[in-house]
Amino acid sequence: MTREEFQVIYDKGSDAVYTLFEGLLLQVNVLAARVRQLENQINTNSKNSGKPPASDGLARTNSQRKKSGKKSGT
């Protein structure tokens, strides 16, 4: 919305401004719900849901191997 468009609404009075505010507030609430849904979807993996491990994607895991201290290739 441009400044000029807002000015037209403002010139119509407080009821028009409040109607605009209500519409924007509704949009914010819808988007916030969508963000929560997407965050929950990202945080779901095979360990905390019924999803198969293949659906977890490529996650880097820490190696359980210990360094031996020997030079490599000898």
Q: Kindly list the domain boundaries of the chain, sorted by start residue.
A: 3-44
DSSP symbols for 29-42: HHHHHHHHHHHHHH
Q: For 14-28, 31-45, 51-65, which range has the lowest pLDDT when averaged over its residues?
A: 51-65
- Kindly report the average pLDDT of the chain as a whole number: 87
Phi, psi of 62 (to 5 degrees): -80, 135
**Which long-range contacts link 26-29 to residues 24+ away (Cβ below 8 Å)?**
none
- Structure confidence at residue 59 as a pLDDT band (50, 70, 90): low
Please give the model's pTM, rounded to 2 decimal places. Answer: 0.58
